Amino acid sequence: MRRSIALAGAAVALAGCGDGRLSHDAYLRRADAVCSAYAAKVTLLTHPRNFDAVVAYVDRTLPLYVAAVDHVQALKPPQDDEAAVRIWLAADTKVQAELRNLRAAAMRHDLAATNDAANALQAASLSARQAAQELGLQTCATP
């Protein structure tokens, strides 16, 4: 009986005291799986070539992106990765904002603003991919 109690106690200690945090590798696998599912859905969308197509593209892409970020935010990274995850998710929030800016510029049929917003979106996406790479993610770090 004492032995089973001791083993149960050891199992709880090894499991991280039940705080629900993932190991580094488990976090990377799950986050990359979310990114992979997002990428599979987005690759089916064509890239826009006019203002109306830009609006339609953002309207289809943004909800998928937001849902993917929400899924990743629900994951509990290991404590050692929390700072890097915050940086990555902040970069993803910037991507969302730039997608909204791109849509707004395209809605106005403002070519210069649409180009500026597209460039800002590319820069934000690059920052998000770099943050993902620094965390050790693979799929999430791929354009």
Structural domain spans, the chain: 21-141
pLDDT given for residue 3 in this prediction: 41
- For residues 127 and 91, the answer to whether their CB atoms sit within 8 Å is yes
What digits encode the pLDDT tens for the residues 58-116? 999 999 999 999 999 999 999 999 999 999 999 999 999 999 999 999 999 999 999 99
| pLDDT at residue 46, rounded to an integer | 76
What's the CA gap between 101 and 105, in Å, rounded?
Answer: 6
CATH of domain 21-141: 1.20.120
What's the pLDDT tens digit per position in 2-39?
Answer: 444 333 443 444 444 457 899 999 999 999 999 999 99
What per-residue confidence (pLDDT) applies to 44?
A: 77
Local confidence band at 137 (pLDDT 50, 70, 90 cut-offs): very high
Nearest in space to 59 (alpha carbons), one of 99, 112, 95, 90: 99
Sequence-distant (6+) residues with CB within 8 A of 54 are 48, 102, 103, 106, 114
Q: Cβ(21)–Cβ(77) under 8 Å?
A: yes
CB 106 within 8 A of CB 139: no
Q: Enumerate helices (H) and strands (E) in the chain, giving the number of each.
A: 5, 0
